[in-house]
Amino acid sequence: MEFGAVFRSLTFPQIFNFNKKPAEEEEEEEDEDLSDSEDSVFSGLEDSGSDSEDEEEEGSNDKEDGDDEGLKTGPEESEQVEFYVCVSRVFRVQLFSDVVVPVQDIRNTVGNIPMEWYRDFPHIGYDLDGKKIYKPIRNKDELDEFLDKMENPDYWRTVHDKQTGSDIVLSDEQVELVNRLQRGQFGDVNFNEYQPQVEFFSGDLMVHPVSNRPADKRSFIPSLIEKEKVSKLVHAIKMGWIKPRRQDDDSRGRYYDLWTNEDSSILAKHRMHLPAPKIPLPGHHESYNPPPEYLFTDEERALWEQQDLSDRKFPFVPQRFSSLRQVPAFPRFIHERFERCLDLYLCPRQRKMRVNVNPEDLIPKLPKPKDLQPFPTTQSLVYRGHSGLVRSISVSPSGQWLASGSDDGSVRFWEVRSSRCMKTVQVGGAVRSVAWNPNPSVCLLAVALDSVVLILSPSLADRQVVSSSERLLSGQQEEEPAEGVGPVTWSEGEGEELNQGIRLKIQHPKAVHQVAWHAKGDYLASVMPDHSSHLQVFIHQVSRRRSQNPFRKNKGLVQCVSFHPVRPYFFVATQRSVRIYNLVKQEMTKKLQANSKWISSMAVHPGGDHVVCGSYDCRLSWFDLDLSTKPYKMLRHHKKAVRGVAYHRLYPLFASASDDGSVIVCHGTVYNDLLQNPLIVPVKVLRGHVITHDLGVLDVTFHPTQPWIFSSGSDATIRLFT
Amino acid sequence: MGGLQKKKYERGSATNYITRNKARKKLQLSLPDFRRLCILKGIYPHEPKHKKKVNKGSTAARTFYLLKDIRFLLHEPIVRKFRDYKVFVRKLKKAYGKTEYSDVERLRENKPSYKLDHIIKERYPTFIDALRDIDDSLCMCFLFSTFARTGKCHVQTIQLCRRLTVEWMNFVITSRALRKVFISIKGIYYQAEVMGQLITWLVPYQFSHDHPTDVDYRVMATFTELYTTLLGFINFRLYHSLNLLYPPKLDSKTESELKEEDEDDYAMNSESYLEKLSALSSSLARVVSTAEEEEAELDQFPDEGEDIEKLEAREKEQKQLEAQKKLFDGLKFFLNREVPRESLAFVIRCFGGEVSWDKSVCIGSTYEVTDETITHHIVDRPNVDKQYINRYYIQPQWVYDCVNAKIVLPVEDYFLGVTLPPHLSPFVEEKDGDYVPPEKLKIMALQRGEKPAHGQEDEEEEEDEEEGEDEEEEDDNEEEEDDEEEADEKSLKKMEEQRSKGKSLQVKVTPGKMKVENPARLEEEEKAEEKRLAIMMMKKKEKYLYDKIMFGKKRKVREANKLAAKRKAHDDAEKSKKKKKTRK
């Protein structure tokens, strides 16, 4: 309880001490350093004083410290004086460092050594007599230290002397001295720092010189170094390396009339110069308050944001502000100006001639279709009856009958004028091609289905004609089939087939795609497209029931064939080209390059000098055989593949049928004069067929005498346009 | 046989062009210097016709200059100055390195500098050439004059730009050359007609700039160097053409008036004169004090063989122009402090109005708010506390719209707190077929002298009419075919309608009416078909061109229709809103 009471009574100074402590501790440390460096001077003297104080404290605090007292000895009265003397000696050392004064502790003879060396010994040195000086027995632990710190009012001025191992309490004078030293003042209070200085060398001229040395020679003669420097400068000025200071002319900011005498001669130099185009002027979009229609909708804005910078129509988003004070600065202003600068000096300039044509002028001037009549203009009849798409049609040479072959396996005979189906022949297979014999004195029809070519005698003519055709068919019986088994076999129709009019069957090795008659009506050509075989075309002679393969080599996939109407020529259209063979000489005379990917159909002009080819890549090429092997004209009228082409026998007309469901009739006059090129004018686009399964019009043919045109389509109808 | 073998790329276009790097080496200049030279001399790259030939067979991307241009640069005295400058910099560095500061000082005093006068003269041999190319320089100077005087470029440049632009504006005011003004979101466009040249420039709004980092200010500074020189010479010439003093002086009369105010509030003595000039409120001093400009009467040359109509049209235009120049004559404006003072003062003074502002806004105000003779008070806030009865309180857009419409517009639409009518660009000239916003139609009607319909009903009627038009246009749009084809379609439709009518009739009684067809229409149809057939026969190249032209035309129509549709939708929405309001 006693301890507690004491503690309580000391709380106030304790706090006070705490406040003061840090600075003082520093001071103490410095003091220690100082004493260490300058030979620990006053260790022994303070021993006693500090000890006595300690004693007192300890006496008041702790009764167990009694052991210490016995060791502590020393004259207390002389302490102050001694200390002062020591300190002043230190000062002297500081001031006049050249004067060596051996300062040594009188009590401890170990000298200025680190005292740690004695840490493990019971003594800390030797006195003058060589006897050990023992360490004071200190059993102060941390707690005692702390309590001491708290309770001892002189703690802050207590210094530990390492050399003697004792604590020294500094007196007021000593503290004052330390403070003065720390402030950088002299230790002696009475010392005057600012004594008037006595100058050894003054401006006053004295009677006697300081030294009596005679003047040097160099003070009489000019300096060589200076001369060298000056001559260098002079040389530099002479050479123009150093320029005289330029007069500050104010002419830079001065303006005058630059164009007083304008001469146009300079203009001539600049003929190649292109002035930079001006910045386009702003439209309504750029207004700060544009009409509402110029603002972006949400979609437009989203689009604008997605677009690449170069694709944007405007480099900014139109905005609307209700009043002028709300308009902010345009963030890209400097950018735009800079870009303009870049354009001005980095962009290549080029004079571009703007095409300023009236589009009407581009349209070629053609004769009016009205002047080129007659040609079919309107759809007048529709022949219905087939149930499958009608692949092929053919008109009899008299123009009275129309034969059609369809995918439903039937061949129908129609009367042209009444659109009545006169006869239906079931042939049992999809019909690929039908062809009337062009000879008006016989009435025969060739039908191609699968690998068979049938010769029908529909008996739709005068008895005389029918009989003549019968004769033609029967005439062959005289021919003995002695050739043996060729690739083609001829057989006669039997039984029911005879009733239907099927007279002859010509069996081919492969599927037949097309049949074509010679103009005389005796020869018949059939096409079997095949990549690998040379057996692609056969020419049959009906009257002698003979077949022959005219080609020994395969020259490409044969698309269609045709006989020349007058001369003994044979046209074979392969994928890319049309070959013309002379049948008499048995050699090729010409090869026409169609410039298209895949020829679909071909027709020969009745004059025989012109050929028109339709192709699957929507083109129609007109060849003038006298002119060149390249097409005279390419027509791209159709939007889809061209399926069929046809010439009119009498009128200067030709037509093309396409998958886009249209038939385009063109006027194609051919002049007898070789110098005049044929005149080709499209005159009518005929529509009527319905597109089914992506197929439109499949075949087209003209009436032999009238300007009428028949077309058959995938919608199972045949239409007549007149 | 014999003869030297011809080598490739030693004749023809390959010898006419030179790549940039080669040109640089030939001129012995660094790339920045070369750029500067090109900017100053106006040399630009050329795009050769056959790039591969010029590029000696390679297809690498290169910039080509004309060899002639580069040869032309070889003789340029400024190239020498550039080299001198390079030497100067080297010497300066050396002197610094040796810490010879006297040398540094001496070198600095002799810093090489160049003048651009001869280049201006060379690039623009005649004054008109220079005027024609002044757009960019004005834009640039106006931009630089708004820069803060720190960092990006020399303060002197900024001051010079400011001075030149103020001089230019003063000239435009004095000559009354301003024609059109447009407030865009970028800034304010002005268009003036000086000596028959239309000059357009853009002034940014008065805000501090957010300087972008990806802009090379050195390039801009080089351009500005050239442009300030050009603009200075042009200003000089223009001022002299009007018998004005250059550098501009304020009229002595007005100057004395202005002196009364204490100037020290606004600027230092050195700057106050420029400030007073830039206030734009007073007229300039003339060399020979003449009476106010006498108008040059347009002489009549009736016997020049020119059409009388043309002559009349020109005269009419002239009259209109005169009227526009005196648009604001006799009107007295007062600018409230929140409106852009410089722009408005400039525009109003250009058209003869008097203008003033609050003393504390800027130097050079001529009368107070309390002046009873003020006719228009321009305010850009929802309402004003103290209103005078004998003046209009209007929003600033009125001034600009009046200028563009060339007439004094009715003020009702521009009162305080009123939703402003849209501000249209005066630079758009609608051709037939283009979309014309209804506001423009209204203004055109006003210009023709028609009275605007005030009543609500009339307006609605108008709108209805417009809508009708719009609908028609839309129909056109949907068809998206040539006009004639459209006509065809229409006629076909009508024919069909007729037919169907005929059929319905036929069912009843008359069998003969079915064939009634309009011969004119038939003819049209025939023509259209003819055209279509003829188009089929076009050559590939021509067809391509034709299709392109037609595509462009169609796109134009489509855009116009789109705008019209948008407008209609907007108007409908507005109307329905109004109706709702009235119902409530």
- Looking at residue A486, what is its pLDDT? 66
Which pLDDT does position B143 carry in this prediction?
A: 94
Alpha helices, DSSP H, located in A245-318: 265-269, 298-306
pLDDT of residue B513: 59
Residues B2-36 pLDDT 10s: 678 888 888 888 888 999 999 999 998 999 999 99
Token readout for A210 is 């300081």
As a whole number, mean pLDDT of residues A460-488 equals 66
Lowest mean pLDDT among A528-532, A565-569, A572-576: A528-532
At B274, give phi and psi (nearest 5°). -65, -40
Partner-chain contact A282 B189, CB within 8 Å? yes
Is A637 in the B-facing interface, judged by CB distances under 8 Å? yes
3-state SS, residue B198: strand
**Whole-number Å distance between alpha carbons of A28 and A146:** 16
- Report which residue type is found at B30: S
Place of tokens 């001051």: B159
Please check whether residue B245 touches A, CB under 8 A: no
Sheet holding B187-194, edge to edge: B178-183, B187-194, B197-204
Q: From edge to edge, which strands make up the β-sheet containing A410-415?
A: A390-395, A401-406, A410-415, A420-426
- Sequence-ordered strand ranges (E) for B248-404: 332-335, 354-357, 376-378, 392-394
**pLDDT score for B514:** 61
CA distance B140 to B117: 19
pLDDT at residue B87, rounded to an integer: 92
pLDDT higher than threshold 60 for residue A476: no
Q: Do B215 and A338 touch (CB under 8 A)?
A: yes
Strand partners, A602: A613
Instruction: Look at residue B489 in the predicted model and tell me its pLDDT.
Output: 56
Q: Which residues contact B322 (CB under 8 A, 6 or more apart)?
A: B295
B residues 422..481 contacting A (CB < 8 A): 422-425, 427-428, 437-439
A309 touches chain B (CB under 8 A): no
- A133, A11 Cβ separation under 8 angstroms: no
Average pLDDT over residues B371-376: 88
In this prediction, residue B517 carries a pLDDT of 65
**pLDDT 10s digits, B305-356:** 557 778 888 888 888 888 888 888 888 999 988 899 999 999 999 998 888 8
Percent of chain A residues past pLDDT 90, beyond the cut:
6
In this structure, what token pair is assigned to residue B169?
A: 């504006």
CB pair distance less than 8 Å for B185 and A327: yes
Rounded Cα gap, residues A674 and A610, in angstroms: 12
A79-95 and A172-182 are packed helices; what angle lies between their axes, rounded to 10 degrees?
A: 10
Assess whether pLDDT exceeds 90 at residue A8. no
Q: Is the pLDDT of residue B182 over 70?
A: yes
Distance from CA of A297 to the nearest CA of B (A): 9
Residues of A in Cβ contact (< 8 Å) with B200: 278-279, 281
Residue A80 near residue A88 (C-beta atoms within 8 A): no
Contact between B538 and A256 using a beta-carbon 8 Å cutoff: no
Chain A nearest-CA distance from B255, in A, is: 24
Burial of A659 (0-12, 13-18, 19+ CB in 10 A): buried
Please return the burial class of B17, using the count of CB atoms within 10 Å of its CB with bins 0-12, 13-18 and 19+. buried
pLDDT at residue A130, as a whole number: 84
Residue A28 pLDDT > 50: no
Coil, helix or strand for B55? coil
The span from the CA of B164 to the CA of A38, in Å, is 79
Nearest to B236 by CA among B130, B82, B360, B357: B130
Higher pLDDT, A419 or A343: A343
Smallest Cβ–Cβ distance between B204 and the set A319, A333, A635 belongs to A333
Shortest CA distance to A358 belongs to which of B426, B351, B546, B313? B546
A286 vs B185: CB contact, 8 Å cut-off?
A: yes
Task: Say what the pLDDT of residue A98 is.
Answer: 42
How high is the pLDDT of residue B270?
Answer: 62
What's the pLDDT score for residue A271?
61
Q: Is the dihedral of CA B162, B168, B173, B179 positive or negative?
A: negative
| pLDDT tens digits, one per residue of A319-330 | 899 888 889 999
pLDDT score recorded for residue A619: 86
The pLDDT score that the predictor gives to residue B129 is: 86
Average pLDDT over residues B248-264: 63
Query: Whole-angstrom Cα distance, residue B40 to residue B76?
Result: 11
What is residue A93's predicted lDDT score, i.e. its pLDDT? 40
* Helix count and strand count (H, E) for chain A: 14, 33
Average pLDDT, chain B: 81
Region of poorest pLDDT, from A143-147, A393-397, B169-173, B463-467: B463-467
pLDDT of residue A554: 78
**ipTM for the complex?**
0.83
Query: Which 8-state DSSP code applies to residue B296?
Result: P
Give the pLDDT mean for B504-532. 70
With pLDDT > 90 as the criterion, what percentage of chain B qualifies?
Answer: 27
Supply the pLDDT for residue B465.
Answer: 42
Strands A514-517 and A709-713: unpaired
Amino acid at residue number B76: E
Chain centroid to CA B425? 10
Secondary structure (3-state) at A244: coil
A283 touches chain B (CB under 8 A): yes
Q: Are A637 and A657 in contact (CB under 8 A)?
A: no
* B147 token code pair: 């820069």
pLDDT of B222:
93
**CB–CB contact A333 B143 (8 Å):** yes
Q: Do B127 and A288 touch (CB under 8 A)?
A: no
Task: Identify whether the C-beta of residue A721 lies closer than 8 Å to the C-beta of residue A708.
Answer: yes
Write out pLDDT tens, residues A89-123: 444 444 444 444 444 445 778 888 888 888 888 88
Closest Cα in chain A, distance from residue B507 (Å):
23
Determine whether the interchain pair B534/A266 forms a contact, defined as Cβ–Cβ distance below 8 Å. Answer: no
Give B165's contacts (C-beta < 8 A, 6+ positions apart): B138, B141, B142, B145
pLDDT-derived band at A363 (thresholds 50, 70, 90) equals confident
> Which pLDDT band, with edges at 50, 70 and 90, does B447 fall under?
confident
Q: Is there a contact between A284 and B216 if contact means CB atoms under 8 Å apart?
A: no
pLDDT band at residue A338, thresholds of 50, 70 and 90? very high
The CA–CA distances, whole Å, from A208 to A205, A211, A214, A215 equal 8, 8, 14, 15
pTM equals: 0.65
- pLDDT-derived band at B139, boundaries 50, 70, 90: very high
Among A293, A321, A618, A642, the residue to mutate for chain B (most B Cβ within 10 A): A293
Q: What is the mean pLDDT of residues B513-520?
A: 69
Query: What is the length of chain A?
Result: 722
C-alpha pair distances (Å), B235 with each of A106, A359, A588, B134: 100, 47, 85, 11
pLDDT tens figures, B196-235? 899 999 999 988 888 888 899 999 999 999 999 999 999 9
Residue A266's pLDDT is 59
- H or E stretch covering B275: helix B269-278
The answer to whether A595 and A621 are in contact (CB under 8 A) is yes
- Look at residue A428 in the predicted model and tell me its pLDDT: 79
**What does DSSP assign to residue A102?**
-
Q: List all residues 6 or more positions away from A634 whose beta carbon is below 8 Å from its beta carbon.
A: A595, A619, A620, A621, A622
Q: Which of B132, B240, B537 sits opposite A366 (nearest CB)?
A: B537
CA atoms within 13 A on the CB side of A694: 2
With beta carbons under 8 A apart, name residues in chain A contacting B186.
282, 286, 316, 330, 333, 336
* H, E, C per residue of A553-579: CCCCCEEEEEECCCCCEEEEEECCEEE
User: How confident is residue A33, by pLDDT bands cut at 50, 70 and 90?
Assistant: very low
Determine the average pLDDT of the residues in A269-274.
Answer: 67
Decide if B49 contacts B90 (C-beta within 8 A). no
pLDDT digits (tens, 9 = 90+) for A656-684: 998 888 888 888 888 877 777 788 888 88
What number of other Cβ atoms are within 10 A of residue B241's Cβ? 13
Task: Output the average pLDDT for chain A.
Answer: 77
The predicted pLDDT at position B25 comes to 93
- Which region among A51-60, A125-134, A201-210, A614-623 has the lowest average model confidence (pLDDT)? A51-60
